[in-house]
Amino acid sequence: MPDVPTSAASGLAADELHALDAHWRAANYLAAGQIYLLANPLLTEPLRPDHIKPRLLGHWGTSPGLNLVHTHLNRVIKARDLDAICVWGPGHGGPAVLAGSWLDGSYAEVYPDVGRDAAGMARLFRQFSFPGGVPSHVAPETPGSIHEGGELGYSLAHAYGAALDNPGLLVACVIGDGEAETGPLAASWHANKFLDPVHDGAVLPILHLNGYKIANPTVLARLPGPELDDLLRGYGHEPIEVSGDEPLQVHRDLARAMDQALDRIALLQRTAREEGVGERPRWPVIVLRTPKGWTGPAEVDGVPVEATWRSHQVPLPGVRENPEHLRQLERWLRSYRPEELFDDDGRPRPEVLACVPDGRRRLGANPHANGGLLVRDLPLPDLERYAVPVEKPGVTLHEPTRVLGDLLERVMEDSGDRRDFRVVGPDETASNRLQALFRATGKAWQEETLTTDEHLNRHGRVMEILSEHVCQGWLEGYLLTGRHGLFSCYEAFVHIVDSMVNQHIKWLKVSRALPWRRPVASLNYLLTSHVWRQDHNGFSHQDPGFVDHVLNKSPEVVRVYLPPDANTLLCVADHVLRSRDYVNVVVAGKQPCFDWLDLDQARAHCARGAGSWDWAGTENGTGEPDVVLACAGDVPTQEVLAAAGILRRHLPDVAVRVVNVVDMTRLLPRKEHPHGMPDAEFDALFTRDRPVIFAYHGYPWLVHRLAYRRTVHPELHVRGYLESGTTTTPFDMVVRNDLDRYRLVMDVIDRTPGLGVRAVAVRQRMQDARTRHHAWIREHGTDMPEVAEWSWSG
């Protein structure tokens, strides 16, 4: 570990100090103006009630702190010609981030009608939190942002995701002290154990302790200083503290702290890159203590507001009705001396802009914060090289995710120079059978290694930490800055990031409507170790509801695939890795699974998203089935095929059509999802009036929710997971949930009229098989040979 200079370069010259303060005052003025003003933006006349917005919405409290960071990041970016973005954790401070972007001119480049002049300032103020305007929070609409920040907790993981494989990038990250109480943020501190000082950029966390949340003090702000210091050192950081409420002194101190931090970062990177990585670097963290609502009203109606929780939203709530509040607002706004900051046309004066960098160096214009500008197509190999040969369906077995692993190895290998592809997961890459990846790369790890470790590597591009939150945050940050990736996760535990994927889907939905935001690579989930195969675990590991969760969200963004075998998984993976601006959920097994389709068949089937498997049915070309056996998911497909086999053998006169669904959104009406099947196509595939027995991977009502508008819906009968689980055998799981082959045959018999006495006997036989199953597993603890040894062609 090299020595780091203890005193950094910056002693601010007086004019630089005053220019910084001017920028900060301008930003504070603009932030307050957005919250309050409908008109009279430059205060060219005394403030009147009709200048004030009728609804006062927004968050002032965090804004002066964010502005301060913005000002000082401007300074160091310009002084050091840094390539830098900032993740603003307290995203409710939208007025601040908008102010910074308006000041650096990037806002007007994206929104020309909000120019850097009086008319533009008036629009900037009016549009904020106004119907038809811009949201109250940092949002996709905000230039320079990759982070909404409305739901607190993800800033630091986003920042690390952005820094990965961007060796020249600095990612500053403001962490609010409220946000710091969340679990995801608390876990993200340890992301520094995965940051490669050679191939990755740097993250500079700025822990902003303004003391209060909505109504309470924050835990970290009230820690005794040495305890907080211990905590940050325990997180592996070297803390640099700046504290105060006297602006000029805080400017001096923060400038010095920033220089110190950046000198240290530069030294750590240079050392690692020139001399090779030694021990894990102790990266700097800045602790910034400034008052909440700083420079706002000190007291309102006799109670303290500045430096308290009362400044969280709108410190003066009654401005339109209360003349004293109006006077106080005017005093407050004039305290920034706007006439010194803006010329008569509302343009920021040169002193205000002295610290602002140029062009793509501006925080509002850095292309890393609009990753679609940078993203390149992944080098994806021909699937032929990875497909498994299938002479006949249902004879050979492969572990689908293992087959996928070989493909991913190639992608990882071929992106080795570009370093724009990562796989993340909570300690499950090998458990999920993707270990072929480790032939192409290692698992990122900067801590000590022992001889008993495997595949750890300082420069690895597989990311494993036992935190789904951090995995998700890393990947989001990585994708939004223009790279590609895959999140491999246990199906049940992906619910841990339900709320994070909500926010990412919302981000993509809004981004898609902004022409200047270029499309980014999709967020791809591979959910394996799924509900039906939790042999080692049990009930707590059985939950297929993530699909339901994402299908509640904007249909233009979400897609769900359930490939039934290895080759279909390859086709789906190829498809989703090429796609842009989606959240793709792929559910696939890691256990040995019959191969049903060869590569050409798989391609055709996946292109359709759902189709009849004529070879499995008994329609014999009539095109008039008596019954449809439908399936989605690997285990349901196997049970449906087994049921079809029983029917073929024992009730050969029943015309059965077997339909497999890969893309669940095809079941939706066309007007509700871009993939939705037109009614005519749906009716042709599922019939208009025949019984449809649908074996579905997850909760059965999802299929009803997707298909309730279809003509055949009254005849639709769905089997799926019914929350009946425990540690047991694979076949017992399907029996417990009435998804087994015997039950499906009984369903066919029960729902198809006129099958006669032979069907009654077959039904009894099915009942007997289920009884036999129960007796067998209690005795042997395994599945019956007739199940365990079954194959379609056997």
Number of other CB atoms surrounding residue 330 within 10 Å: 18
C-alpha–C-alpha distance, residues 293 and 557, integer Å: 38
Nearer to its own copies, 219 or 761 (CB): 219
Strands 610-612 and 583-587: unpaired
Site for its own copies in 625-684 (CB under 8 A): none
Please identify, among the stretches 268-276, 459-467, 615-623, 687-695, the one whose residues bind its own copies according to the rule CB under 8 A.
459-467
DSSP labels for 482-537?
T-EEEEEEETGGGGGGHHHHHHHHHHHHHHHT-TTSPP-B-EEEEEES-TT--TTS
Distance CA 205, CA 286 (A): 6
Among 548, 619, 683, 750, binds its own copies (CB under 8 A): 548
If we measure between CA atoms, which residue out of 274, 459, 786 comes closest to residue 266? 274
User: How many angstroms separate the CA atoms of 482 and 473, rounded?
Assistant: 15
Is 492 near its own copies (CB under 8 A)?
Answer: yes
Q: Judged by CB under 8 A, does residue 750 bind its own copies?
A: no
Which of these ranges, 26-34, 319-327, 465-473, 569-577, lies near its own copies under the rule CB under 8 A?
465-473
Q: Applying CB under 8 A, which of residues 402, 509, 690, 751 lies at the interface with its own copies? A: 509
Residue 245 engages its own copies in binding (rule: CB under 8 A):
no
Measured from the CB atom, the residue of 342 and 438 that comes closer to its own copies is 438
Other Cβ atoms closer than 10 A to 273: 13
- Nearest CA to 426 among 517, 335, 489? 489
Indicate whether 503 belongs to the interface with its own copies (CB under 8 A). Answer: yes
| Residue 30 Ramachandran class (φ > 0 left, ψ -120 to 50 alpha, else beta) | alpha
φ, ψ dihedrals at 444, nearest 5°: -60, 135
Nearer to its own copies, 135 or 611 (CB): 135
Query: Which one of residues 129, 511, 567, 584 is an interface residue with its own copies (CB under 8 A)?
Result: 129
| Per-residue b or e along 762-793, where b marks 16 or more CB atoms closer than 10 Å to that residue's CB | bbeebeebeeebeebbeeeeebbeebeebbbe
Is 139 a binder of its own copies (CB under 8 A)?
yes
Q: Which residues in 577-624 belong to E strands, given as ranges?
A: 583-587, 593-594, 610-612
Please check whether residue 263 is in contact with residue 5, taking contact to mean a CB–CB distance below 8 angstroms. yes
CA dihedral angle for residue 583, residue 584, residue 589, residue 590, rounded to 10 degrees: -70
- Please name which of 656, 659, 710, 709 lies closest in space to residue 683, comparing C-alpha atoms: 710
Q: Is 142 in the site for its own copies (CB under 8 A)?
A: no
* Nearest distance, CB of residue 240 and its own copies, angstroms: 16
Nearest to its own copies of 41, 645 (CB atom)? 41
Does 592 participate in binding its own copies (rule CB under 8 A)?
A: no
Instruction: Out of 24, 235, 336, 742, point to the residue binding its own copies (CB under 8 A).
Output: 235
Q: 628-642 in b/e burial notation, b at 16+ Cβ within 10 A?
A: bbbbbbbbbbbbbbb
Q: Is 400 in the site for its own copies (CB under 8 A)?
A: no
For its own copies, the closer of residues 30 and 353 by Cβ is 30
Q: Is 500 exposed, middle or buried (0-12, 13-18, 19+ CB in 10 A)?
A: buried
Q: What are phi and psi of 64, to 5 degrees?
A: -60, -35
Please select the residue that binds its own copies; options are 23, 25, 75, 92, rule is CB under 8 A.
92
Residue from 18, 704, 751, 765 that binds its own copies (CB under 8 A)? 704
Using CB under 8 A, pick the residue from 44, 81, 119, 222 that binds its own copies.
222
CB closer to its own copies, 244 vs 381: 244
Contact code string over 290-319 relative to its own copies, x by CB under 8 A = --------------x--xxx---x------
Residue 62 binding its own copies, by CB under 8 A: no
Q: What is d(CA 666, CA 578) in angstroms, rounded to the nearest whole number?
A: 20
Give the footprint of its own copies on residues 27-56 (CB under 8 A). 38, 53-55
Instruction: Tell which one of 63, 106, 136, 142 touches its own copies (CB under 8 A).
Output: 136
Indicate whether 428 belongs to the interface with its own copies (CB under 8 A).
yes
Q: Say how many CA atoms lie within 13 Å of 359 toward its Cβ.
A: 4
Whole-Å CA distances, 788 to 50, 536, 646, 663: 78, 18, 15, 28
List the interface residues with its own copies, window 513-542 (CB under 8 A).
Answer: 535-541
* Binding window for its own copies (CB under 8 A); candidates: 166-174, 404-412, 425-433, 591-599: 425-433
With binding defined as CB under 8 A, does residue 445 bind its own copies? yes
Binding segment for its own copies among 5-13, 248-256, 598-606, 703-711 (CB under 8 A)?
A: 703-711
Write the CB contacts of 334 (distance below 8 Å, at least 6 apart in sequence). Answer: 43
Smallest separation, CB 262 to its own copies (Å) = 23
8 Å CB contact between 289 and 241: yes
Distance CA 644, CA 667 (A): 22
Query: For residues 587 and 488, what is the distance between their CA atoms, to the nearest angstrom?
Result: 10
Q: Does 506 bind its own copies (CB under 8 A)?
A: yes
Identified binder of its own copies from the candidate list 110, 203, 430, 583, rule CB under 8 A: 430
Tell whether residue 786 is a contact of its own copies (CB under 8 A): no
Tokens coding 559: 């897609």
415 lies in the site for its own copies, by CB under 8 A:
no
Q: How far is the CB of 570 from its own copies (least distance, A)?
A: 24
Interface residue with its own copies, options 13, 14, 450, 757 (CB under 8 A): 450
State the minimum distance, in angstroms, from the CB of residue 760 to its own copies: 25
Q: Is 65 in the site for its own copies (CB under 8 A)?
A: no
What the block records as the tokens of 308 is 């308290």
The reply to whether 113 sits near its own copies by the rule CB under 8 A is no
Residue 117 near its own copies by CB under 8 A: no
Per rule CB under 8 A, count of chain residues that contact its own copies: 127
Of 150 and 318, CB closest to its own copies: 150
Calculate helix-pair angle for 94-103, 14-36, nearest 10 degrees: 130
756 torsion bin: left (phi>0), alpha (psi -120 to 50), beta (else): left
Residue 398 engages its own copies in binding (rule: CB under 8 A): no
Find, among 434, 425, 412, 446, the residue nearest to 268 by Cα: 446
- Residue 229 sits in the site that holds its own copies (CB under 8 A): yes
Specify the stretch interacting with its own copies by CB under 8 A; choose among 13-21, 167-175, 201-209, 218-226.
218-226
Closer CB to its own copies, residue 120 or residue 425?
425
Q: Which is nearer to its own copies, 17 or 499 (CB)?
A: 499
Q: How far apart are CA 182 and CA 358, in angstroms?
A: 36
The nearest distance, CB 411 to its own copies, in angstroms, is: 21
Q: Of these, 219, 513, 604, 684, which contacts its own copies (CB under 8 A)?
A: 219
Among 168, 321, 701, 793, binds its own copies (CB under 8 A): 701
225 binds its own copies (CB under 8 A): no
Interactions with its own copies, residue window 161-200 (CB under 8 A)? 178-179, 181-190, 193
Which residue type is seen at 447?
E
Q: Which of 322, 457, 499, 791 binds its own copies (CB under 8 A)?
A: 499
- At closest approach, how far in Å is the CB of 213 from its own copies? 4
